[in-house]
Amino acid sequence: MKRLFPIGLLLLLGIACSSSDDKSNNSCADVCADGCANVASANCPNEDDQATCTSSCSSSCNKILNELPECEEPLFSLYRCASTLTFTCNAEGKADAEGCDRELSSALKCSYCRTVPTRGDCENCLAEKCCDELVAFIQYEECMAECSGLSCDEDCSAKYPRATAYVQCAETNCSVCESDNAT
């Protein structure tokens, strides 16, 4: 089973891809416009139109960079990598492409594995104590969302073995999450 670049995960992060290798093209509006044009070129029936994609991506990207300005380089490295990919439509009618695993992992770690004052105690604990497991779990969930067939769980678990350790890590290291869930 080949590894696909998860567009849904990019939009969750608020990032898209840039069609420029010029590092001066590092504004959310520019990279989102370029990235959404690249995704739109695949003409997938279940993707947002280019304008909606660009607006949503820019808004989310700016929010992330306002919260985590230190993540600009990992996020924009992902944009530059993704700009080299060729997108096609998957079985669900969403855009996918193969590649950028290293850049995606770096962007996820930067975005999810930092404590931020605006996040709750549980999220900050998970970011601090269970970073690798959290990133693996996010990638596992995306893998499962893109997968169909009986072997999905086995295939995704094999790709992201640390995902199964996420719950154990959270239970062992982040008791504050239990009180967050109780309220």
Range of the domain at 28: 1-112
Which pLDDT belongs to residue 26?
66
The DSSP secondary-structure symbol of 163 reads G
How many angstroms separate the CA atoms of 70 and 11, rounded? Answer: 19
Q: Which of 60, 94, 112 is the last residue of a domain?
A: 112
Which pLDDT belongs to residue 44?
93
Which pLDDT belongs to residue 179?
65
Residues 154 and 91 grouped into a single domain: no
Residue-wise pLDDT tens digits, 69-111: 888 888 878 877 877 788 899 888 888 888 888 888 888 888 8
Residues 101 and 128 grouped into a single domain: no
Residues 81 and 2 grouped into a single domain: yes
Residues 100 and 158 grouped into a single domain: no
Query: Shortest CA distance to 177 belongs to which of 119, 133, 123, 118?
Result: 123
Residues 54 and 144 grouped into a single domain: no
Question: In the chain, which stretches have pLDDT less than 70?
Answer: 1-26, 179-183
Which pLDDT belongs to residue 10?
52
How many angstroms separate the CA atoms of 101 and 179, rounded? Answer: 35
Total residue length of the chain: 183
Which pLDDT belongs to residue 173?
93
Q: Are 57 and 32 in contact (CB under 8 A)?
A: yes
Residues 77 and 130 grouped into a single domain: no
Count structural domains, the chain. 2
Residue 26: phi and psi, rounded to 5, are -110, 45
Q: Which of 112, 138, 160 is the last residue of a domain?
A: 112
Q: Which of 92, 112, 132 is the last residue of a domain?
A: 112
Which pLDDT belongs to residue 14?
45
Residues 123 and 78 grouped into a single domain: no
Which pLDDT belongs to residue 172?
92
